[in-house]
Structure 1
Amino acid sequence: MTVAVETGLWQLDPTASTVAFRHKTMWGLVTVKGTFSGVTGQGEVRPDGSAVGTLTLEAASLDTKNAKRDVHLKSADFFDVDNHPQISVTVRSAELREGNKVHVVAQLTARGISRPLTFTANLVGADADALTLEAEFTVDREQFGMGWNQMSMIRGLTTIATTLRFSRSAA
């Protein structure tokens, strides 16, 4: 990526990382916001400066601050956590482009369905021991079998916002 981001293995620091989502419901009048607290990941910066890695979310760690809604989101209507306990992002390529922009080519898997995912992240901090990436992108939940939509209340794309802090791996 840059001279400051050294080659080698990096481990996600879950205490300094966040994965959040927001989606408009009630015909666009209400925005539901939530976070996933169960987040793990790792990456490797290769000698050519590119990077690969994985990010795993425990679907059952979803929290929207509304217990009844969380139960519904974890049900078969949406995330189906009993059958698909994890959501994963497999980064096939991450390359630093202009400035601190990182072009990411990945695969998102939710409910056992995988789709390509391409977005731009921002490298907001990097030194010999840690690096922090921020990204925001949209996902069409219907592409992952989450088409439940009573009375057409839920429309549009879901926005995912992440801050991911990685620390140099000891291994």
Structure 2
Amino acid sequence: MTVAVETGVWQLDPTATAVALSHKTFWGLVTVKGTFAAVAGQGEVRPDGSATGTVTLDVASLDTKLAKRDTHLRSADFFDTDHHPEITFAVRGAELRDGATAHVNGQLTVRGISRPQSLTARVTAATAGALTLETEFTVDRAEFGMTWNQLGMIRGLATVTAALRFTRVGA
């Protein structure tokens, strides 16, 4: 599938967007999964086809279906939502290549620490007024100051999956 994305400003539709996080715990025997209920963002597609934008997650909206765990994840041991209530991904450049594949370079900020992050996203739906991108990538939580690991129970990388629906402003 080859797609053409209209130029202009695109607004994230939070009702049609899903961002999830998963990580192995208990020495790799259990996968903890959570979703972010509050997601915001926007982007701009330029006439040359390149794109920039930002996606913001409200960390306090992370839900793993276990209140005690969610409270711990919001603490200073992990996301420290009192001091860093948001996770942001700032797209510095994105180009549609290979038909429906977008190569995205940006900056991921978690707990006030920013790191470069590259990823590949697939355009799974595109019209003149709406666009859906899907991606999956891994993050090393230690790079963002999240080193709490009681008894060595938490290993490996966290996986982020996202299905982001954008609508074109003025379409």
TM-score, structure 2 length as denominator? 0.97
Q: Deviations over 1:46-69 (max 9, x none)?
A: 000011000000010010000000
Distance in 2 between residues matched to 1:167 and 1:127, nearest whole Å: 9
Tell me which amino acid in the other structure corresponds to 1:58.
D
Structure 2 match to 1:124: 124
Q: Distance in 1 between matches of 2:100 and 2:3?
A: 12
Whether the 8 Å CA contact 2:3–2:99 is kept in 1: the answer is no
**CA RMSD of the aligned region, Å?**
1.1
Question: How many residue pairs align between the two structures?
Answer: 170
Q: Which position in structure 2 is the counterpart of 1:17?
A: 17
Q: Note closer, same or farther for the CA distance 1:33–1:3 as it changes in structure 2 (3 Å cut).
A: closer
SS in 1 for 2:73: helix
Q: Partner letter of residue 114 of structure 1?
A: S
Aligned to 2:165: 165
Partner of 2:62: 62
TM-score, normalised by the number of residues in structure 1: 0.97
User: Any unmatched runs of 5+ in structure 2?
Assistant: none
Query: Is 1:135 aligned with 2:132?
Result: no
Residue aligned with 2:69, SS: helix
Q: Distance in 2 between matches of 1:34 and 1:134?
A: 17
CA contact (8 A) 2:134 2:164 kept: yes
1:82 matched to 2:70: no
The one-letter amino acid paired with 2:13 is D
Aligned equivalent of 2:46? 46
Q: Check whether the contact 2:52–2:91 (CA below 8 A) recurs between aligned residues.
A: yes
The whole-number CA distance in structure 1 between the counterparts of 2:170 and 2:25 is: 44
Deviations 1:106-149 (A, max 9, x none): 10001000000001000111111100000000000000001100
Give 1:97 deviation, angstroms: 1.0
1:4 positional shift: 3.3
SS in 1 for 2:57: strand
Q: Is the 2:100–2:123 contact (alpha carbons within 8 Å) kept by the matching residues of 1?
A: yes
Structure 2 distance, partners of 1:123, 1:111, is: 29
Cα distance between partner residues in 2 of 1:143 and 1:113? 8
User: SS of the counterpart of 1:142?
Assistant: helix
How big is the shift at 1:3? 6.2
Q: Unpaired segments of 5 or more residues in structure 1?
A: none
**Letter paired with 1:100:** A
